[in-house]
Amino acid sequence: VCSDVSSSISTYWDWSDSEFEWQLPGSDIASGSDVLSDIIPSIPSSPCLPSKKKNKHRNLDELPWSAMTNDEQVEYIEYLSKVSTEMGLREQLDIIKIIDPTAQ
């Protein structure tokens, strides 16, 4: 329920780290023409908002397979699958020959 409410409210509210301010779509906040800010004070953030994660994304290209978590391995396989479907057959064969020059 909170995610539905927050997603529908997000079109009308400008969320920041600790507070949000009323913002109508198309209003020009930068020019100071927001009349509602004088009428409606800032409100503390909602408890329904998801907490911000400080998830440091590791560079999977430089990690050995054994050092990756299960989720990272799945993410990397999905990435490689996407790349291979976007490449032509000739490009795929070239990549295979780079990886294993003896491949036929």
Q: What is the pTM of this model?
A: 0.36
Q: Does residue 44 register a pLDDT over 60?
A: no
Q: How far apart are the C-alpha atoms of 14 and 24, rounded to whole Å?
A: 9
Give 11's contacts (C-beta < 8 A, 6+ positions apart): 25
Which comes out higher in pLDDT, residue 68 or 10?
Answer: 68
Q: Is 76 helix (H, G, I), strand (E, B) or coil?
A: helix
Task: Please compute the mean of the pLDDT values over residues 81-87 and round it to a whole number.
Answer: 87
Q: Is 20 helix (H, G, I), strand (E, B) or coil?
A: strand
Sheet containing strand 13-15, strands side by side: 13-15, 19-22, 43-44
Q: What does DSSP assign to residue 66?
A: G
